[in-house]
Amino acid sequence: MTEKAIQVNSEIGKLKSVLLKRPGAEIENITPDTMERLLFDDIPFLEIAQKEHDYFANVLKENGSEVLYIEDLAAETLSMSPEIRENFLETYLTEEGYAMGATHDALKEYLMSMSVKDMVTKLYAGVRRNELTIKTASLHDLAGSDAANPFFLDPLPNAYFTRDPQASMGSGMTINHMTFKARRPESLFTEYIMKYHTRFAGKVDIWRDRNHDTRIEGGDELILNDHVMAIGVSQRTSSRSIEGLAKEFFSNPNSHFDTVVAVEIPHNHAMMHLDTVFTMVNYNQFTVFPGIMDAEGSMNIYILTPGKDGEVHMEHRTNLEQVLKDVLKVSELDLIQTGNGDPIVAPREQWNDGSNTLTIAPGEVVTYNRNYVSNQMLREHGILVHEVISSELSRGRGGPRCMSQPLWRENLN
């Protein structure tokens, strides 16, 4: 493979191309009964969420990045041939529990009758039961928990967090097996785009596909430099996936990654991914939420490097600062505490993604305006901060890093 479609060799190189998803009708298909299952804590006001998201996209464009929308790439991909569209839909329906039968047939007919663009919009939005008439209902359609669900196909309201269903790393991607059912279909769109879209087909190394039963999500996958990555052992990413990925990186000739730092973080909804508590903002500067360490400042970290006979060598460490100094080979390190480490401000701002900065160039970040203490701290540490509006987007528990999937970053010298 000579021509590459992806180049992400750091968290901080100047951002040149990024993948977003504009929040759509799926947001209005969250209800109090489904909220928890759909991984939301509240119901955003769509009109304002879209305005905020457009503002975010504009900040990225004004600062030199191309902005691509996954919903557009998906529609372009599925328009390439009737077979691609049909295979995609069959897989989607099968994974959602409709491999065959009257409901499968009705859903397929309904979705195939639409334009490709409308079908993509509808799949993100979800298909309600009252949209279809099923000729012969099965018991499954009439009784049990699925029958009580007002949707045949659930909405995908988390799709605007494009960071998670896949992760660009080096010249390739992991296409992720998501932890919760609510997010599983999201990475099927990525799989098809990477496989068939002319911009990507044959130009992306797939380090790991979504057909694994161990789970991993992009919010846990951080590229510290062109040979070191940090991966969260979290609510969403299992230690098994990390070890498997490390083996792939250490043996694949297209990979230049030789060190994986596995960082164990608390397993809860506020800190579901590593990037909700820890992000890189400059060569030797990071944001960190102090709540990931114990009272003595220690935590469980494992440094994975190539061992003998294809095995992985592992070293247990407990001091984040020292680990980062060692793997990045820097003598000075600046850990900038979310909310200035204050016991009230830090958890409040972390809840609204005060640690979830998107770095668009070394020392230059995009953050939510509501986290003003954390933003002030970043500025005091010399970081250039672009604030974006954030009342509604933050209700989904993700910030600027979560909402963006870099596809191309300038390499660092």
Ligand X SMILES: NC(=O)NCCC[C@H](N)C(=O)O
Residue with the closest Cβ to ligand X? 219
Structure tokens belonging to residue 315: 């070293």
Give backbone dihedrals phi and psi of 396, rounded to 5 degrees, phi first.
-90, 5
Shorter beta-carbon distance to ligand X: residue 84 or 270: 270
Q: Which residues contact 120 (CB under 8 A, 6 or more apart)?
A: 71, 74, 75, 78, 189
- Pick 23 or 396: Cβ nearer ligand X: 396
Strands (E), 200-357: 205-208, 221-223, 228-233, 259-264, 278-282, 285-288, 301-306, 312-317, 334-337
- Find residue 406's DSSP bridge partners: 18
Of 14 and 184, the one with the shorter C-beta distance to ligand X is: 184
Annotation marks residue 75 as catalytic: no
For residue 249, which phi and psi values (nearest 5 degrees)?
Answer: -65, -40
Nearer to ligand X, 116 or 178 (CB): 178
Cβ–Cβ < 8 Å for 368, 399: yes
Q: Of the listed 74, 263, 345, 402, which one is catalytic?
A: 402
Least distance (Å) from ligand X to the CB of residue 403? Answer: 8
Measured from the CB atom, is 306 or 347 closer to ligand X?
A: 347
Residue 9 CB, shortest distance to ligand X, in Å, is 20
Name the phi and psi angles at 67, rounded to 5: -115, 120
What residue has token string 């505490």? Answer: 337
Closest contact distance (angstroms) between CB of 268 and ligand X is 11
Considering the complex, state which of residue 74 and residue 182 has its C-beta at the smaller distance from ligand X.
Answer: 182
Instruction: Provide CB contacts within 8 A for 361, sequence distance 6+.
Output: 12, 13, 14, 15, 63
Chain contacts with ligand X (rule: CB under 6 A): 39, 158, 161, 163-164, 183, 219, 272-273, 275-276, 396-398, 402
Closer CB to ligand X, 232 or 290, in the complex = 232
Give yes or no for a contact between 235 and 272, defined as CB atoms under 8 angstroms apart: yes
Vertex 370, ends 364 and 376: CA angle to 5°?
50
- Give the torsion through C-alpha atoms of 323, 325, 314, 207, to 10 deg: 110
Min dist CB 407 to ligand X, Å, is 16
Burial track 236-268 (b if 16+ CB lie within 10 A, e otherwise): bbbeebbbbbbbbbbeeeebebebbbbbebeee
Closest distance to ligand X from the beta carbon of 321 (Å): 23
Beta bridge partners of 286: 280, 335
Task: Output the smallest distance, CB 219 to ligand X, in A.
Answer: 2
69 neighbors 120 (Cβ within 8 angstroms): no
CB of 42 to ligand X, least distance (A): 11
Give the residue numbers annotated as catalytic, written as ranges. Answer: 402
